Each structure stands twice: as C-alpha cells, then as structure tokens.
Amino acid sequence: GLIRHYKFSVVMKNVTKLCASKPIATVNGKFPGPTLYAREDDTVLVRVVNHVSYNVTIHWHGVRQLRTGWSDGPAFITQCPIQPGQSYIYNFTLTGQRGTLLWHAHITWLRSTLHGAIVILPKRGVPYPFPKPYKEKTIIFGEWWKADTELVLSQSVQSGMPPNKSDSHTINGYPGPLPNCSSQGYELQVESGKTYLLRIVNAAVNDELFFKIAGHNLTVVEVDASYTKPFSIDTIFIAPGQTTNALLAADKSGGSYIMAISPFMDTVVAVDNLTATGIVQYKGTIASAPTVQASIPAINATSFEFSFINSLRSLNSKQYPAKVPLTVDHSLFITMSAGVNPCSTCVNGKKLVAALNNVSFVMPSTDILEAHYYKIKGVYTDDFPGNPPTPFNYTGTPPSNMQTTNGTRVYKLAYNSTVQVVLQGTSIIAPENHPTHLHGFNFFGIGKGLGNFDPNKDPKNFNLVDPVERNTIGVPTAGWTAIRFRADNPGVWFLHCHLEVHTTWGLKMVFIVEDGDGPNESLLPPPADLPKC
Ligand code: C2O
C-alpha cells in the first residue's frame, strides 16, 4: 500500500448552535473533523499537534493496530496524553481492513467535538461486493451541549450525579429546524435514478440512535468495516462508536424528504427525545417535505432494535469468509452493572459508579502499555476476575449491597488463544443497553438473549457460521451478548461501554495479549516521540 500523511492540528474554535456560542476543541478548525481517506493496506501517518490547553489523544476506532498498540490512542491505556504544545505521530497500517470507521479523542469527554470519519477504500481494482454506487456520502451523527462538555463532565464527577443531558443531536454538525433557535439542517443532494453509498457514523457521546429517511428504504451492506449480507430496511439502529454503510436508491422522480435521527433508550432514565433532522433533496425539484416523526421508532422501541440487530449477518463469502473461532481457550462471563460507592465530597455522600464483574476500573497515571512493555511494577494487577465474584440473579431483584471494588485490573491472554466473552446486563439501579467496544480486534457476535445467560442451554443456539463481525456491540437491557475473537494482536487492549457516561463511571477493563514466539508475533517497540506522562 501507499504511505499517506495527515496533519491534525488541535485548535479551539468558536461555534454557535441553538443561539449559544462556545469555544470547542476541533481538528483543523472543523466540526465534525476532517475525514481520513486511505485504501486497504495503506500506512497512515497522522501528526497530531496539540494547540489547546487540554491534554489530548486520538483513537482510531476499529483500526486493528496489528502490533502497533502505541498508536491506538486511549489515554493511560496505550499512551500518556499529548500535552499542550506537544505533538505525536500516530503510525499504523490498515492491514486487511476496508470500510468506514471513525476517529475520536480518547480522554475525558473531548470526543464530543473531536471526531471524524475514516474511509478505507478497497485495494485499487478490487470492487465492492455490491453494485457500484454512483456517489458516496459520509454522514456523522453527534450530540451537542450548549455548555462546555468538559464542565458537564467535571460537575458530574464532583457531584456524583448523572451528567446533564445534551441539548440536541446533530447530523453532520447541524441540529436542523426542530429544536429552539435552530434552522439549518444538513442537506443531502441526490439525482433521481442514482444509488448512493451512505457511510454512517454515530459519534454521539451517550445516545444510541435510530436513523430514517422518509419514503426510502436503505440496504445495509457493511457494519464496523465488515461486509454484511445485504438487507433492506426503513430505519437503521446505530450505537455510539458503530458505523454502518447503506445503499440509498434515489428512486423518486423528485422532491424533498426528511432524514431524522432520534435516540433509543429502553429504560428511560431521563427523557431525552431530541430529534435532529436534515433533508434529502432531489436535484432540480422542489416539494414540501413529509414529516417523519410519525414513523421513526419510539424511544423505547426495543423490539425494532432487536429485529434490526438480528438481521445483521457477516457476508461470509469465499472472498470474505467469517473466521469464527470454533474452540475456546478462555471463557469469560462478565456482568455489567451500575453501583453506588461512598464519596465524602459528593452530594449525599455517595456517587454513581459502574463495574464489570463488580470491579470499577481505576485509570492509572502511567499508561498500561508502557508498564507492560518495560515491566514497570505497581501500575496494574493481572487479576481481573473471569467470572462474577458473587453470582446473583442478574436480571432479577438487585442485591442490597451495591458497592463495587476499585482496581486497575487486567486479564492476560496468550498469543493466538481464542476467547469467548459473555457480557451479562444486570438490573442493578437502572438496567440499560451497553454498546461495548473492544480495541485491537474485530469480534463475532455469536449470540444474544434476554434474561440471564444459561451456560447449558444458550450455547446450543450460537451462530458460528455467519455471525456479525464488528468492534462495538450492544448488550441488551436485562439480557446478554456473547462474542468470540482470536487474540492474534499482542498488546494492551481496552474494553468499555461506548456510552461515555458509563466509561466515566468505571465500566471498562483491559486485556493484555502476550507476545508470541514467532518473528511477527510481538509488539513493536515504542516510537521515539511517544508522549511522556
Ligand atoms: Cu471509540 Cu475506546 O473507543
């Protein structure tokens, strides 16, 4: 492949939305940020220069970073942050990957404004496994607060209470005319009779979303940069961190059609029913737009969300086979729950936390990858529990003690071992859907269900033939999801809920994959410009 150079200058920029202005951190002054284009097998060098007063890192969400964990980006997991006035070159190769992904800041809540799409085209001369679209369009969903999101975060951490909800959602940066004090919406121009490939990215901070274009079906062909068996549907479900490629056939003779995004939350903790809209405009015609509110799924449309996810299958063709591990070396069962811990400085003397197998992850002050590579003691312990410390009826009446333990605990995996993780949602405090992201891998979503996972019965129904392959997967409210992957990437890999509020509360853990013995089976040495803590 080619070598592609990018420069990302992180700079403040004043932006006005919903009649309020605020300075936000941007890449190159853009919101959403620039799209990074490359082809499969290209090497990408992105020089990130930090011109703002915050510490910054950038994560290339879904890029596998084979042996290059130093370029993965999560702060204090694989690197120390890039301090104000400093720079760092992320250097990675897109080995065997093509499709749509996203990049975003991976420290505090800076990803609310520091994000953009990654478009990886197939190798030159290699066609898509679906009809060639006339044009391609990138559509990024975001979430906008009138207040500074770093302030929203710190207020919530200080009080121990949930953070303030966002003031609107955005489509390519625009809330559209529905919220107060907003008019312009994103406009997608199409020509009648042509087919478009929409590269859809959910870069929202805390909200899973439904997406619909009035009067048109969409044909899903790829999720998280893995081809799927094509299927046609009128609404797309997409969680933060996920990407979906879909074909839009502009099969009307003309007119304008509303496109809309609206949140999905099946346990409505705080009503957040903010619809953002844009327009699909047929070139050369004018028409009045039909309303879409009547037909976008309701905020608690769990059955629609389920049926959408059940329609996803990996393409599993001769050229793009699904390489599902058929045996399991490490089998983990992990509960995802909220909790309440004492906090002397908080309102009411307690704070909300979240935990995996009752461990609330504590961020270290030296990154775990350097601690692993240089064998620095005292940064982490390798005793993350592979099973709940005290089993309970996960989706029944919650236990009375909701305190969690704190720790920087990792789980070690031998190189090339196969791993199965069953993620079990629980009903502690508020059962919620958790879109869970694993760095460094694509995994297969081999099963899911409601209630408690049954280790004797449920594995019989696992799909080991053509399960969806992705990097971020929903764990249903009061239900479970099972994933499998092969630990063929040595390094330190973060697993966390991609709802930023839950990550903040501690819903995260780390896998360390040891080096193998072969010549290309070890983590590469750190680059010379790796930031210092
Ligand atoms: Cu897109 Cu660790 O995140």
pLDDT digits (tens, 9 = 90+) for 180-202: 898 889 999 999 999 999 999 99
Does any ligand 1 atom lie closer than 6 A to the CB of residue 59? Answer: yes
What is the position in ligand 1's atom list of the atom closest to the CA of 74?
Answer: 2
Residue 203 C-alpha to ligand 1 middle, in angstroms? 10
Q: What is the model's pLDDT at position 295?
A: 83
What is the position in ligand 1's atom list of the atom closest to the CA of 102?
Answer: 1
Residue 224 C-alpha to ligand 1 middle, in angstroms? 13
Are the C-beta atoms of residues 441 and 489 closer than 8 Å to each other?
yes
The DSSP annotation for 323-343 comes to ---SS-SEEEEEEEEEEEEE-
Residue 106 C-alpha to ligand 1 middle, in angstroms? 7
Q: Report d(CA 101, CA 104) in Å as an integer.
A: 10
Does any ligand 1 atom lie closer than 6 A to the CB of residue 372? Answer: no
Does any ligand 1 atom lie closer than 6 A to the CB of residue 17? Answer: no
% residues pLDDT > 90 (the chain): 86
pLDDT in tens, 204-256: 999 999 999 999 999 999 999 999 999 999 999 999 999 999 999 999 999 99
Is pLDDT at 484 greater than 90 in this prediction? yes
Q: What is the model's pLDDT at position 270?
A: 57
Task: Quote the strand ranges of 54-154, DSSP E.
Answer: 58-61, 87-93, 99-105, 115-121, 135-144
pLDDT in tens, 486-503: 999 999 999 999 999 999
More confident residue, 290 or 349: 349
Span of 30-34, 128-132, 162-166, 292-296 with lowest mean pLDDT: 292-296
Is pLDDT at 273 greater than 80 in this prediction? no
Are the C-beta atoms of residues 437 and 61 closer than 8 Å to each other?
yes
| Cβ neighbour number for residue 297 with a 10 Å cutoff | 18
Is pLDDT at 128 greater than 80 in this prediction? yes
Cis peptide before 32 (omega within 30 of 0): yes
Helix and strand counts by DSSP (H, E) for the chain? 4, 32
Does any ligand 1 atom lie closer than 6 A to the CB of residue 73? Answer: no
What is the position in ligand 1's atom list of the atom closest to the CA of 61?
Answer: 1
Terminal Cα-to-Cα distance of the chain (whole angstroms)? 34
Q: What is the model's pLDDT at position 398?
A: 81
Tokens of 402: 């909701």
Is pLDDT at 132 greater than 60 in this prediction? yes
Residue 481 C-alpha to ligand 1 middle, in angstroms? 19
Does any ligand 1 atom lie closer than 6 A to the CB of residue 74? Answer: yes
With tokens 């609330």, the residue in question is: 360
Residue ranges of domains in the chain, CATH in brackets: 1-128 (2.60.40.420), 130-314 (2.60.40.420), 330-513 (2.60.40.420)
Does any ligand 1 atom lie closer than 6 A to the CB of residue 494? Answer: yes
Q: Report d(CA 299, CA 210) in Å as an integer.
A: 9
Strand, coil or helix: 33: coil
Size of the chain in residues = 533
What is the position in ligand 1's atom list of the atom closest to the CA of 111?
Answer: 1
Instruction: Name which residue sits closest to atom 3 of ligand 1, judged by CA.
Output: 61
Is pLDDT at 97 greater than 90 in this prediction? yes
Q: What is the model's pLDDT at position 324?
A: 98
369 membership: H or E segment, kind and range: helix 368-373
Are the C-beta atoms of residues 475 and 482 closer than 8 Å to each other?
no
Strand, coil or helix: 239: coil
Q: What is the model's pLDDT at position 265?
A: 85
Query: Nearest-CA neighbor of 24 among 150, 139, 123?
Result: 150
Does any ligand 1 atom lie closer than 6 A to the CB of residue 104? Answer: yes
Residue 204 C-alpha to ligand 1 middle, in angstroms? 12
Residue 335 C-alpha to ligand 1 middle, in angstroms? 20
Q: What is the model's pLDDT at position 115?
A: 98
Residue 70 C-alpha to ligand 1 middle, in angstroms? 15
Residue 437 C-alpha to ligand 1 middle, in angstroms? 6
What is the position in ligand 1's atom list of the atom closest to the CA of 472?
Answer: 1
% residues pLDDT > 70 (the chain): 97
pLDDT in tens, 209-218: 999 999 999 9
